[in-house]
Chains A and B, each alone.
Chain A
């Protein structure tokens, strides 16, 4: 693959009830990403927005932020999915050879809607939607399925929540930095057993932007471009009952593609930091397995060993992850932005020393139906 570099990143601070409008959030990260890249809006020759009409409460929502992203009167396209898929489309634009510098902008204000009502609408209106399924209780079905098949415990899932909220304390963008214990998680209010409040991610508003450029342009424009070494994506079946919810085959397939492109044979050794889409505590464990960091069913033991802690050999979600800030459409793109900061050595108090290869991961659909994996390097 021709070289493509990420030369600008920006995030808002994530919070509930951000009084800014959608356009104001989009403008904040667009202008900051341009500043980070040392560019002006005139340098950008195409834009990808990441908007979802249900979350935004209006149809063709992407067309309402063209001015805020500086993309009116220029080639702009929307991706209705996780932000990692926006980055994927941005990469494709550059690989087409038709563009030199792509801006990718994701913004979400989850506090403006009612998340359960919106996530209920992802289920088949002819079949399961009437059951009151939403992101939380469908995830509970998956967590139970995973625990039943592999003997993973609620305590092991709780450890992920403790770790990520602790990591968030070193991330100035995080919504929910917390000093909590496993006991706090286990004793938090049961929402849909086995999922408790502290197993879930917060209702966050926020935005993220990245700027990508073709090889030579990236080198010319930025002192520390971060290179896209590999990418892979894959989706599983739609109906929950068609899938073995304890398994991560779609993610394994996405990871395999990304690893092959990046020349990664031993992910646990060759990847130094991972930012994964932990919308619920148990998800981080399952995604570890799909990414090949351990065998199926063994991620609980891996977390017990401390390997994924900040001082472990593979820190996972140094940013605090999605558990600490979940502006839905934005969350995967934020994983990429965080990975870029790690590789530049600009991650502040959450920096993983010496990281030269990083993984960023996004999901979409119920219970991680689709996955997108990026491998980034210096």
Chain B
């Protein structure tokens, strides 16, 4: 093992650049697994409904954050929705980013759901995104059972030159 030392200016102190390597396996649980199985096998988005407040949550989770009870009723969603907010990331952090910047992220309220889903926006003019835009899910051809099986959300209507 070799350690590279860097001297910090004229302070006479050393710094040791290194990298923490930490393999880890996260389990998606019953609910997360079913969500991804439906996406992988059928290109379908499903939410989960609270028996008490009747709110539909997506991405799904086991318990209602509002009523603190178990949720079990699955609700099929159309994959279309409305953009609640968005941003275009313009700085590069290759270790974490799914694509080269600039890329757009938004929170989408899917039709039939009561919560927002954070995801990428694609096939979109990065300078003409607006809150309230109608969008729909586009799925990846080769799906692996993870969040990026949804490739991105794209505008429902392509922009015309008059827009």
| In the assembled complex, B13 has its CB within 8 A of some CB on chain A | yes
A116 to B29, CA, bound (A): 27
Looking at the assembled complex, report how far the CB atom of B13 sits from the nearest CB atom of chain A, in whole angstroms: 4
A residues near B88, Cβ cutoff 8 Å:
192-193
B87 near A131 with CB under 8 A, answer no
Q: Does A114 touch B at the CB level, under 8 Å? A: yes
In the assembled complex, the Cα of A193 lies from the Cα of B103 at a distance in Å of: 11
B120→A116 contact, CB < 8 A? no
A234–B142 CA distance with the chains assembled, in angstroms: 42
Q: Which of B58, B84, B95 contacts A117 (CB 8 A)?
A: B95
| A residues less than 8 Å from B148 (CB atoms) | 130
Q: Flag whether B117 is at the interface (Cβ < 8 A).
A: yes
Inter-chain contacts of A148 with B (CB < 8 A): 85, 131
- Known pairs A137-B87, A140-B89, A195-B87 / 17 extra A-B pairs, C-beta < 8 Å: A57-B20, A114-B93, A125-B24, A126-B29, A130-B98, A130-B146, A132-B98, A133-B105, A141-B118, A144-B131, A145-B84, A148-B85, A191-B91, A239-B61, A240-B107, A241-B58, A241-B118
Contacts of A240 in B (CB 8 A): 107, 116, 118
A156-205 residues with Cβ-Cβ distance < 8 A to B are 189-195
Interface residues of A (CB under 8 A from B): 17, 19-20, 57, 112, 114, 116-117, 120, 125-134, 136-137, 140-142, 144-145, 148, 189-195, 237-242, 245
- Which single member of A112, A120, A128, A242 contacts B57 (CB below 8 Å)? A242
* Chain A nearest CB, measured from B113 CB (Å): 9
Can you give 19 A-B contacts (C-beta < 8 A)? A57-B20, A114-B93, A117-B96, A120-B93, A131-B120, A132-B89, A134-B93, A136-B89, A137-B105, A141-B87, A141-B106, A142-B85, A144-B86, A191-B89, A192-B88, A192-B89, A193-B88, A241-B115, A242-B65
Question: Residues of B at under 8 Å CB distance from A?
Answer: 8-9, 11, 13, 15, 20, 24, 26, 28-29, 32, 57-59, 61, 65, 84-91, 93, 95-99, 103, 105-107, 115-120, 131, 146-148
Q: Does B95 contact A190, Cβ atoms closer than 8 Å?
A: no
CB distance A17 to B90 under 8 Å?
A: no
